[in-house]
Amino acid sequence: MNVLVTGGSGFIGRWVVKKLLDGRYEVCVLDDLSNGRVENLEELKEDQNLKFVLGDIRDKEVLQSVFKDIDICIHAAAAINVQESIDNPQKYYDVNIDGTFNILEEARRKDVKVVLIGTCMVYDLTSSKAINEEHPVNPKSPYAGSKLAAENLALSYFHAYGLPVVITRPFNTYGPYQKSDMEGGVVSIFIRSLLQGEPLKIFGDGTQTRDLLYVEDCAEFIVNASFNKKAVGEVINAGSGKDIAIKDLAFLICKEAERIKYVEHHHPQSEIPKLLCNYTKAKELLGWEPKTSLEEGIGKTKEWIRQTKQ
């Protein structure tokens, strides 16, 4: 089977590509490297089954050429920065909505299954309960709004044209290859601060919680959902099923309370107090469950950041 992975040089995409190559699939990566890195695929580049195309999902000609002989498109390419989406919503409309439209149109022409990587950010995040797929949506940023629009567009292609479509909604994902600058994830940022001897900065009082999914578990979920017939036409969450307060996460990573600093929140009004995933559907439909404990995932991430001097 031939699989096209858009955004395959990015953090999650890279692990999806690795999992596919491990399963002996032929993989074509399409990435414009706007946020991905060629180094992310360095370890995999000798694999004969991997092809890389530098290109933009907004470019219809590029899409026409990469969709040749493709069975499945795993669509991970997206602009992903919430604050940037508030400052520059046009980019988020163009890449996340228009770009997805282009993918769907090409998939419709060539009858290719589309697996969309959505996000938990589309949900109403004021809930104090674990979030399942029945939970109401309430996008609070152009990032979340554009991702939800892309999902809806994809589902409309399933209903209107019978195009096989799967919507995956991973919760906060962390692990090796995630950026550790301020655009990266909280786990990588804390680990980098620890290794560089800097304070671990917590915005607000640190009681806000996150459900942290280790990236190899996330990739396994996406690949499983891509090949499982039961997932077609479905929206499926993936998370660890446990949430942790940011102050407890900082202590788990650092263990020295005096190095943890509380700083004023830039946007306290948009802080999400609790994020917890209910992944029962993924378990029942796909037999998927996360395997990596937070301690183990932090250990692997720390080792990678140390080795690669991120």
Ligand X SMILES: NC(=O)c1ccc[n+]([C@@H]2O[C@H](COP(=O)([O-])OP(=O)(O)OC[C@H]3O[C@@H](n4cnc5c(N)ncnc54)[C@H](O)[C@@H]3O)[C@@H](O)[C@H]2O)c1
Which residues form the catalytic set?
Answer: 143
- Between 12 and 97, CB nearer to ligand X: 12
Q: Checking DSSP bridges between strand 26-31 and strand 50-54, what pairing results, if any?
A: parallel
Dihedral sign for Cα 163, 77, 223, 110, please.
positive
Q: How far is the CB of 257 from ligand X (least distance, A)?
A: 27
Q: How far is the CB of 197 from ligand X (least distance, A)?
A: 26
Q: How far is the CB of 143 from ligand X (least distance, A)?
A: 8
Strands (E), 145-291: 165-170, 173-174, 200-203, 209-210, 213-214, 235-238, 244-245, 260-263
CA atoms within 13 A on the CB side of 23: 17
157 SS3 class? helix
Residues making contact with ligand X (CB under 6 A): 6-7, 9-13, 31-36, 56-58, 76-80, 95, 99, 117, 119, 147, 170, 172-173, 185
- Between 52 and 158, CB nearer to ligand X: 52
- Between 141 and 193, CB nearer to ligand X: 141
Are the CB atoms for 205 and 247 separated by under 8 Å?
yes
123 SS3 class? strand
- Between 62 and 200, CB nearer to ligand X: 62
Please state at what angle helix 186-195 crosses helix 294-308, rounded to 10 degrees: 50
List CB contacts of 140: < 8 A, sequence separation 6 or more. Answer: 121, 125, 270
CA atoms within 13 A on the CB side of 306: 9
- Between 256 and 296, CB nearer to ligand X: 296
302 SS3 class? helix
Q: How far is the CB of 150 from ligand X (least distance, A)?
A: 9
Q: How far is the CB of 142 from ligand X (least distance, A)?
A: 13
